[in-house]
Structure 1
Amino acid sequence: MAIMTQLIHTLIAAAAVFTAGANAQCGAGSPHATVTGGGNWFQATRGSAQVYAGSDYRAAIQAALDAISPGQRVAVLASGSIGASTITITSGKIFEGCGTINVGNRAGRGAIESTDTSDVQIPYLSMTGNPYFGMRFSGTRNLVLGKINMNLSGGLGIRFDRDRAPNYNVKMDTITVTGAGSHAVETWNIDGLTINSVIARNVGECGLLMQKTTNARVGLVDGQNVATGNGYATLRFANENGKLPNGRYDTNVHVDRVVSRGGGRGIFCVSQSGGASIGNIDLANNGNNAILIENCYNVQIHGGKVNGGGEVRLSARSEFPNNRDVSITLQVDNTSVREQPCGQNIRWNIWGNARRQTCS
């Protein structure tokens, strides 16, 4: 009960950080610029001035964005296709995708991008298609993503780049991704991340993959048929996720709840990640490990249940130091719990009918 009460309070607090527009309807009020039309004709207007008219949906959107100033808002009311091209959002601008934006695959690029920017907001977006990246970010400060819905036929949903400038103070409300061939949400190099929820359905790789991300708080990660037939997971920490600049793994990544059904792994921590606290989990019938913790440091799972599927496992590769400071409190039924090799300062509190092979 205490965990669930904490979860409710956390979600309420997290919701409060999003802009006031997140509680209004997309395009409500008086946007500074709009994109209207459909079929083979689109119009972009800023106030009473027309800034584009023609058959190119992407050009209409970009013209509207380019016509506004920082702090102003564009509402894309029309639906259409941008093909294998990119919409670019610069600092301080607010972009509302009220219509459905269909996208194509532009190698290495996002259908929507914002890089080396500050104070960009995307309160609403509805996207379909098969992008390389649906949305791509790097070098951002104070980025806010609101209610993002991606009903894809492939590609990766939201990507923060690995090899470009880091990001600071990123906030997301509800991210819903269906049909991505890769990850729903993949983060790299973020200091300060708040997510209300990631909902992943029929996604090829991870629901939420966090890498080199610190000072994070996530409400819910919910995956169904995620990472089927591979080693990814509904929730995955990798590549020194949670490692602080001083090299320590003090708890700084908080996830309130993880739900996973079917697919591949449920929860996976790997490659010297850690500093993570997960409040409550509900995993069932995962096709790979329900939970795999491999070479991770200071990872806590405070409660919940695993029913069926692959084993709950603590493992280690020889190239990294072994697991240490792991604490798991959990009901496990109809699968097994195994610690091999033995880690350092591992605390198990397991009940249910699980077969158990642990070192303590």
Structure 2
Amino acid sequence: MAQYLILTTVLALLSFAQAQCGSGSPHATVTGSGNSFTAARGSSTMYTGSDYRAAIQAALDSISSGQRVAVMASGSIGANTISISSGKIFEGCGTINVGNKAGRGAIESLNTQGVQIPYLTMTGNPYFGLRFYGTRDLSLGKITMNLSGGLGIRFDRDNPANSNVKMDVINVTGAGSHAVETWNIDGLNINQVIARDVGESGLLLQKTTNAWVGLVDGNNVATGTGYATFRMANNNGQNPNGNYNTNVYIDKVVSRGGGRGVFCVSQSGGVVIENVDLANNGNNAILIENCYNVSIRGGTVNGGGEVRLAARTEFPNNRDIWITLTVNNNSVRESPCGENTNWTLTGNAQKSIC
């Protein structure tokens, strides 16, 4: 299963291999600067004026499924929303500055199929930078968000589910909440999530199955909170039949400072993390709490908060846990004792395990 996921991910990410943003002959473009923007489709002008968001939406609305818009101009859309409908390819080649529209994304694609965003650079303080639900065959490429607050990429909790979502490299700096938060995805492939100075999680997976992630890399993520560079919560990895057979594969988690490094909670599991590199986390380096079939197969923890297996009384205890780690200048604690916990530990850490 892991090899299949990796192969399909590599093949899928080849679809992002255009030479550069806006290359070739986009079907529609947005050009201009300052207070003058033009949306054009071929020789036809779809919009001209001072409203950057209106120019972008006019360009998107002018194309059909399978066609591409390249936004070459930089500007601000304010506290508004850009909507992308099924089959359209959106390239944000300029820098799109955004505001905060309560409960909404600065860019949204809802109940759609086959949408692609190969390139995007976003600044500002959105409620959600990108917001999705009910998507199928969604592809996100090189997404860079240099934010002053808000949440980067969000898949909604209380709306229709998603399937076959792919992301290449997601860079998020300065989000007040999570860099990437998923709910209700079956089939998720991510190359990299790189989070810097993010208030809550770098990557938060919830009710997501059949997932592969190459790298989650966080620096100063979740400082002073209970979140983590990489967090799984709310039945993440639980299969439709209720079991926790392995279906989530994480190649590597790197975390420096901030809050927790890796956190599995609230009846999540079915996960293999091949390698971790965690140092000086301000909260638990690793916390596994009420999770099932979790394997951390190697890596290092140096300093920071303890490596901990814990359990709340409202959920069944941890079960089927395998942890192989080198832990230095730290401690490892299991309380209460889980069911079928397997430790392979090296390093100078103090140990209080079952």
TM-score by length of 2: 0.98
Among candidates 95, 101, 105, match of residue 106 of structure 1: 101
Q: Measure how far apart 1:10 and its partner are.
A: 7.9
Among candidates 258, 261, 281, match of residue 263 of structure 1: 258
Secondary structure of the residue aligned to 2:17 is helix
Separation in 2 of the partners of 1:305 and 1:127?
34
Secondary structure of the residue aligned to 1:143 is strand
Among candidates 191, 205, 223, match of residue 210 of structure 1: 205
Deviations 1:210-258 (A, max 9, x none): 0000000000000000000010000000000000000000000000000
- Stretches of 4+ aligned residues off by more than 4 angstroms: 9-13
Q: Measure how far apart 1:24 and its partner are.
A: 1.6
* RMSD between superposed Cα atoms in Å: 1.3
State whether residues 116 and 139 of structure 2, in contact with CA within 8 Å, keep that contact through their aligned partners in structure 1.
yes
State whether residues 173 and 198 of structure 2, in contact with CA within 8 Å, keep that contact through their aligned partners in structure 1.
yes
Aligned twin of 2:281: 286
Structure 1 counterpart of 2:251, one-letter code: D
Among candidates 324, 330, 333, match of residue 329 of structure 1: 324
From the superposition, tell whether residues 195 and 339 of structure 1 become closer, same or farther in structure 2 (CA, over 3 Å): same
Structure 2 counterpart of 1:235, one-letter code: F
Structure 1 counterpart of 2:197, one-letter code: N
Aligned twin of 2:224: 229
Deviations 1:257-287 (A, max 9, x none): 0000000000000000000000000000000
Separation in 2 of the partners of 1:353 and 1:153?
40
Among candidates 37, 45, 65, match of residue 42 of structure 1: 37
Alignment of 1:319 with 2:314, yes or no, is yes
Separation in 2 of the partners of 1:188 and 1:165?
10
Aligned twin of 2:90: 95
Q: Measure how far apart 1:71 and its partner are.
A: 0.1
Aligned twin of 2:20: 25
Q: Measure how far apart 1:11 and its partner are.
A: 6.7
Secondary structure of the residue aligned to 1:327 is strand
From the superposition, tell whether residues 357 and 254 of structure 1 become closer, same or farther in structure 2 (CA, over 3 Å): same
Aligned twin of 2:80: 85
Aligned twin of 2:249: 254
Among candidates 140, 153, 159, match of residue 148 of structure 2: 153
Among candidates 183, 187, 203, match of residue 182 of structure 2: 187
State whether residues 104 and 131 of structure 2, in contact with CA within 8 Å, keep that contact through their aligned partners in structure 1.
yes
Structure 2 counterpart of 1:54, one-letter code: G
Among candidates 160, 175, 178, match of residue 173 of structure 2: 178
Deviations 1:153-173 (A, max 9, x none): 000000000000000000000
Among candidates 275, 287, 295, match of residue 290 of structure 2: 295
State whether residues 22 and 146 of structure 1, in contact with CA within 8 Å, keep that contact through their aligned partners in structure 2.
no
State whether residues 216 and 253 of structure 1, in contact with CA within 8 Å, keep that contact through their aligned partners in structure 2.
yes
State whether residues 75 and 97 of structure 1, in contact with CA within 8 Å, keep that contact through their aligned partners in structure 2.
yes
Alignment of 1:242 with 2:230, yes or no, is no
Separation in 1 of the partners of 2:191 and 2:142?
10
Q: Measure how far apart 1:12 and its partner are.
A: 7.6
TM-score by length of 1: 0.96
Which ranges of structure 1 fall in alignment gaps of 5 or more residues?
1-5
Secondary structure of the residue aligned to 1:16 is helix
Structure 2 counterpart of 1:219, one-letter code: G
Among candidates 49, 57, 62, match of residue 54 of structure 1: 49
Separation in 1 of the partners of 2:262 and 2:67?
40
State whether residues 99 and 126 of structure 1, in contact with CA within 8 Å, keep that contact through their aligned partners in structure 2.
yes
Report the number of matched residues.
353
Deviations 1:105-138 (A, max 9, x none): 0000000000000000000000000000000000
Separation in 2 of the partners of 1:300 and 1:95?
38
Aligned twin of 2:116: 121
Structure 2 counterpart of 1:352, one-letter code: G
Separation in 1 of the partners of 2:320 and 2:110?
37
State whether residues 11 and 196 of structure 1, in contact with CA within 8 Å, keep that contact through their aligned partners in structure 2.
no
Identity, in percent, stands at 74
State whether residues 6 and 212 of structure 2, in contact with CA within 8 Å, keep that contact through their aligned partners in structure 1.
no
Secondary structure of the residue aligned to 1:65 is helix
Secondary structure of the residue aligned to 1:58 is helix
Q: Measure how far apart 1:13 and its partner are.
A: 6.1
From the superposition, tell whether residues 294 and 21 of structure 1 become closer, same or farther in structure 2 (CA, over 3 Å): closer
From the superposition, tell whether residues 19 and 92 of structure 1 become closer, same or farther in structure 2 (CA, over 3 Å): farther
Separation in 2 of the partners of 1:20 and 1:312?
39
Aligned twin of 2:136: 141
State whether residues 136 and 161 of structure 1, in contact with CA within 8 Å, keep that contact through their aligned partners in structure 2.
yes
Deviations 1:15-40 (A, max 9, x none): 43125343420000000000000000
Aligned twin of 1:3: none
Separation in 1 of the partners of 2:328 and 2:96?
44
Aligned twin of 2:305: 310
Aligned twin of 2:193: 198
State whether residues 22 and 147 of structure 1, in contact with CA within 8 Å, keep that contact through their aligned partners in structure 2.
no
Structure 2 counterpart of 1:190, one-letter code: I
State whether residues 215 and 253 of structure 1, in contact with CA within 8 Å, keep that contact through their aligned partners in structure 2.
yes
Aligned twin of 2:269: 274
Secondary structure of the residue aligned to 1:317 is coil
